A and B are shown apart, each in its own frame.
Chain A
Amino acid sequence: MIPVAITGYGAVTACGIGADALWSAARDGRTAVHDVVFPRIHQQQVKQAARISDADLQILLPDAKPRFQDRTAIIGVAAAREAITQAGLGPDDFGERCAVVVGSGLGGAETIETGYIRYLETPAQRGDVMAIPKLMANSTASWIAMDVGATGPTLCISTACSSATQSIGLAADLIRAGVVDRCLAGGSEALLVDVAFAAWELLHVMTTTRCRPFSRERNGMVLGEGAGVVVLESMEAAKARGAEVLAELVGYATNADASDLLRPDLAGVTTCIRKAVESSGLEPSRIGYVNAHGTGTVANDLTETNALRAVFGDAFDGLAISATKPIHGHALGAGGALEFIITVEALRAQIAPPTINWLGLDPKLGFEPVPNVARPFTADAAMSNSFAFGGINAALVVALPGRG
């Protein structure tokens, strides 16, 4: 596919404010997963998550509009501003030639929860009159568009854990199709509130011990939250304004299993990864690092391993594969953006971040991810995968500038 320039990115996560905080935590294997208490949960069984600290949120509030913005929009706008600053975009670079594609799995979970609780406890009191515009899933995308004056297409993709990866992929499609010159793309998710967390507990996919992707004795994922936004531009638009191209998006594919709502499907996942690699036009051996979806559930990691092995064949053993979710948590609708940013940073630094909490080989997987400590790799390209409930798969391939 025609390469698309990546010229900036920003993130707000449990690792801190900024893409640097996210990348350095991932590279150094420093987890942001901590004990969390949800006082309204009756017999809370899972007691950890990667939550943005109150101190960091306080830093963002003076530049936010909390009366009109849910936590998702506050962190999403902050991530977008960082990305725009890094890209060096000015007021004239937006308008109708700029799109915004920012996804979210659940939208304004905190607004939904506090609104329900307030209504049920004190129905006679006036509720939050801004509840609806705060909780709608496209709120973050719309606030970002308003913040910069982007009047091109503004879209919100809500496909659970694939939301942000599909957003970045669709952004590249819009640019390649000539619809726009540039796009702010990514995702925002903040659902670490009592009732939403209790609902996650019901699914029994979270670990009560440690999230340890691709490891023996793994038994589930750990939730996180955050926002990640990437600036994508056509190569011409980036060059015209003399922007530094950090990396190029060279491959993207998305598909659906159309089989089971929760259980990943090997055929679907394999096809998605294969098509992403094919769309990049790169020999698989040119891809040196994979930031796996790697949730730490038994089913995901087994399916993803088998799919990667099928697509990469002889090149599989040379791949550095890691899952960084035990560090920043599974940020669901934002996860793909956070992991894409880590993937680009990893490629630029030629350092594969570690899969922490890894105890040892799972014979059924038969491979070691980059275990516990980062290691260098040498390659022109890297890949980031997302596989969502609902059987929706998405994968992105990035290359160093000029190497795609």
Chain B
Amino acid sequence: MAEVAARDEDLHRQLLAIVVEEGMIKDRELEAATRLDELGIESADFVMILMAIEEKFGVYIPVDENLTEAKTVGELLDVVTRHIDEHRRQVAS
């Protein structure tokens, strides 16, 4: 379990870095509870974030209901993590 938690934490950190960089968010600490609308992330920034994740993890993330519903950084990362896990399962099989 500790391994999984460590992996998740590492993935989480990588994803967070992508949100900060692609969302052009400077000078603030992002937390799971931080609301996306407070960050002023426009639709174009959102696409940049998805694209960067795709490049890094090889997963295509269509804008589905779960993604649209994500209101906080934590929720966004949860959705993305599920896609990455699903993708890794498919690649493994």
Chain A residues at the B interface, C-beta cutoff of 8 Å = 43, 45-46, 201-208, 217-220, 260-263, 297-299, 362, 364
Contacts and interface: CB of A to CB of B under 8 A. Distances in A.
A219 B64 contact: yes
Nearest to B68: A298
B58 interface: yes
A297 B58 contact: no
Contacts of B61: 204
A298 B63 contact: yes
Interface string B39-76: 00011100100110010001011111101100000000
A297 B62 CA distance: 9
Interface residues of B, number: 16
Contacts of A207: 62
Interface centre among A46, A203, A204, A219 (most CB of B within 10 A): A204
Nearest to A204: B50
7 contacts: A43-B58, A202-B47, A202-B51, A204-B61, A217-B65, A263-B43, A297-B63
Given A203-B47, A262-B43, 9 more contacts: A202-B51, A204-B50, A207-B62, A219-B63, A219-B64, A220-B62, A260-B42, A260-B43, A261-B43
Tell me the interface secondary structure of chain B in the complex: helix
B60 A204 contact: yes
Interface of B: 42-44, 47, 50-51, 54, 58, 60-65, 67-68
Contacts of A299: 63, 68
Given A43-B58, A298-B68, A220 B63 contact: yes
A42 to B, nearest CB: 11
Contact of B62 (A43, A206, A261, A362): A206
Contacts of B54: 45
B47 A204 contact: yes
B68 A218 contact: no
